């Protein structure tokens, strides 16, 4: 009797583990609806492949594979991730793609007046090489329109959704995406107040053909047990909150706060840069 019970528990936990890892186009689509990414960001979403976003935790060098709706910390997402996509029909193989990584919850989920915020926007991604043995890597062939900015929701905010979408680019072989995007989003376009649906319409994108999302809570408010003291000293530079100025939308390169300019900041600098940012009033965290 006991052994049957134990076997049941074991089987149950194996099934749990397996299903927890398995991401399908259906499970992604369900997760988007459950978290209201549809309709907040997209009118509808019918993924044709599974988008993989893989972060490298700066304090442990561990790879973190994003599954839809998972909780991550600002530290874990500080560095630009790698992207891959699996399961797309073969007809997609020769095509180029646009990646958009946005925050629809800025400055907070209950006040979205600054949304959407672009955390990365780039085109001319192609399936090239491998993310791992089974998943093709998405490699880019042109400069990002908006370079990666790690999540940094403001203190006191609820967790933000960070949504990563892969679109078909639909350009001719001689066209690069920055030339198509130029009049709609370019290096001087503020990160805030973006609308990825409108942008896709303006630039002739189709899809999204794949996507994922995750949550990040403000530094210190994390529900994750990984934000323990052990990683604090090494993580402190990477966890400096990211912010964007709202005052000078015409300033080139999206007006990153000085604190975010260098990844080589020492931990001492981290503290003084936070103080500096607090002194500069119009800065907001995204
Ligand atoms: C919403 O956020 C904006 C930008 O930070 C702020 O100016 C505004 O006062 C906020 N509105 C409310 C109702 O909190
Ligand atoms: C593509 O790669 C180059 C160099 O590796 C980088 O500077 C550029 O910003 C990248 N584009 C995107 C969209 O990440
Ligand atoms: C490769 O990546 C996919 C998606 O991230 C994952 O499902 C699969 O288990 C990985 N395979 C190996 C051998 O790591
Ligand atoms: C692309 O560029 C090449 C060389 O510049 C040219 O020969 C070709 O006709 C162009 N193709 C299209 C579709 O414009
Ligand atoms: C850059 O994008 C803005 C829209 O954000 C647009 O008004 C401006 O004309 C664009 N600049 C160029 C050089 O196309
Ligand atoms: C984004 O643009 C689309 C298409 O123009 C529009 O239907 C939608 O309401 C806009 N979304 C937001 C949040 O403004």
- pLDDT tens-digit readout, 130-144: 888 888 899 999 999
In short, whether 186's Cβ falls inside 6 Å of ligand 5 is: yes
Q: Which of 103, 108, 113, 190 to mutate to test the pocket of ligand 1 (most atoms within 8 A of CB)?
A: 113
In short, whether 197's Cβ falls inside 6 Å of ligand 6 is: yes
Q: Does residue 12 form part of some domain? A: no
Tell me, what's the pLDDT at 244? 54
Tell me, what's the pLDDT at 236? 37
CA nearest ligand 3 atom 8, residue:
134
Residue 23 has pLDDT above 50, yes or no: yes
Tell me, what's the pLDDT at 243? 52
Taking the C-alpha atoms of residue 276 and residue 132, their distance in angstroms, rounded to an integer, is 41
The structure tokens listed for 29 are: 């689509």
Q: Does residue 16 form part of some domain? A: no
In short, whether 198's Cβ falls inside 6 Å of ligand 5 is: no
Tell me, what's the pLDDT at 286? 63
Comparing 148-152, 164-168, 224-228, the range with the smallest average pLDDT is: 224-228
Comparing 112-116, 220-224, 240-244, 279-283, the range with the smallest average pLDDT is: 279-283
In short, whether 133's Cβ falls inside 6 Å of ligand 3 is: yes
Tell me, what's the pLDDT at 132? 85
CA nearest ligand 1 atom 3, residue:
113
Q: Which atom of ligand 1 is nearest to the CA of 284?
A: 5
In the chain, what is the straight-line distance between the N-terminal and C-terminal CA atoms, in Å?
55
Share the mean pLDDT of the chain: 79
- CATH number at 70 reads 3.90.280.10
CA gyration radius, the chain: 20
* C-alpha of residue 192 to centroid of ligand 1, in Å: 14
Taking the C-alpha atoms of residue 118 and residue 115, their distance in angstroms, rounded to an integer, is 9
Tell me, what's the pLDDT at 21? 61
Which sign does the torsion angle of CA 219, 220, 221, 223 carry?
Answer: positive
Q: Does residue 243 form part of some domain? A: no
Ligand lying nearest the CA atom of residue 50: 3
Q: Which of 3-7, 28-32, 85-89, 250-254 has the highest mean pLDDT?
A: 28-32
Ligand lying nearest the CA atom of residue 180: 5
From 75, 65, 81, 74, select the one nearest 122 (Cα to Cα). Answer: 81
Residue 270 has pLDDT above 50, yes or no: no
Residue 188 has pLDDT above 70, yes or no: yes
Ligand lying nearest the CA atom of residue 282: 1
Mean pLDDT in residue range 140-151: 96
Residue 183 has pLDDT above 60, yes or no: yes
In short, whether 40's Cβ falls inside 6 Å of ligand 2 is: no
Residue 258 has pLDDT above 80, yes or no: no
Q: Does residue 202 form part of some domain? A: yes
Q: Does residue 223 form part of some domain? A: yes
How many angstroms separate the Cα of 29 from the Cα of each of 35, 226, 274?
Answer: 10, 28, 38
Those residues with Cβ within 8 angstroms of residue 135's Cβ, 6 or more apart along the chain or in another chain = 52, 84, 85, 86
Tell me, what's the pLDDT at 93? 87
pLDDT higher at 275 or 244 = 244
Q: Does residue 15 form part of some domain? A: no
Question: 216 lies in which domain range?
Answer: 23-230
Q: Does residue 273 form part of some domain? A: no
Q: How many CB atoms lie within 10 A of CB 17?
A: 10
Those residues with Cβ within 8 angstroms of residue 207's Cβ, 6 or more apart along the chain or in another chain = 48, 165, 166, 167, 168, 200
Q: Does residue 1 form part of some domain? A: no
Tell me, what's the pLDDT at 228? 36
The structure tokens listed for 230 are: 């052990």
* C-alpha of residue 175 to centroid of ligand 4, in Å: 10
Tell me, what's the pLDDT at 173? 86
Residue 65 has pLDDT above 90, yes or no: yes
Query: pTM value?
Result: 0.78
Contact in structure between 246 and 192 (CB atoms under 8 Å)? yes
How many domains does the chain contain in total?
1
* C-alpha of residue 113 to centroid of ligand 1, in Å: 7
């Amino acid at each position: 009797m006991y052994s049957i019970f134990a076997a049941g528990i074991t089987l149950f936990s194996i099934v749990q583990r397996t299903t927890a890892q398995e991401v399908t186009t259906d499970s992604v689509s369900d997760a988007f609806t459950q978290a209201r990414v549809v309709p907040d960001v997209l009118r509808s979403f019918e993924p044709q492949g599974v988008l993989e976003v893989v972060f490298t935790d700066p304090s442990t060098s561990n790879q973190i594979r994003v599954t839809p709706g998972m909780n991550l910390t600002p530290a874990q997402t500080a560095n630009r991730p790698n992207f891959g996509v699996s399961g797309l029909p073969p007809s997609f193989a020769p095509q180029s793609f646009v990646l958009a990584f946005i925050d629809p919850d800025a400055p907070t989920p209950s006040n979205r007046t600054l949304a959407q915020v672009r955390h990365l926007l780039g085109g001319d991604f192609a399936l090239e090489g491998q993310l791992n043995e089974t998943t093709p890597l998405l490699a880019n062939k042109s400069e990002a329109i908006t370079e990666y900015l790690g999540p940094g929701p403001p203190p006191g905010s609820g967790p933000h959704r960070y949504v990563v979408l892969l679109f078909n680019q639909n350009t001719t072989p001689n066209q690069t995406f920055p030339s198509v995007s130029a009049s709609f989003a370019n290096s001087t376009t503020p990160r805030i107040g973006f609308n990825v649906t409108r942008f896709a319409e303006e630039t002739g994108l189709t899809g999204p053909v794949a996507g994922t999302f995750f949550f990040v809570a403000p530094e210190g408010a994390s529900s994750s047990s990984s934000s323990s003291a052990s990683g604090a000293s090494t993580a402190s530079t990477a966890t400096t909150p990211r912010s964007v100025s709202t005052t000078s939308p015409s300033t080139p390169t999206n007006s990153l706060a000085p604190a975010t300019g260098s990844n080589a900041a020492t931990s001492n600098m981290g503290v003084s840069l936070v103080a500096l940012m607090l002194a500069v009033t119009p800065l907001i965290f995204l």
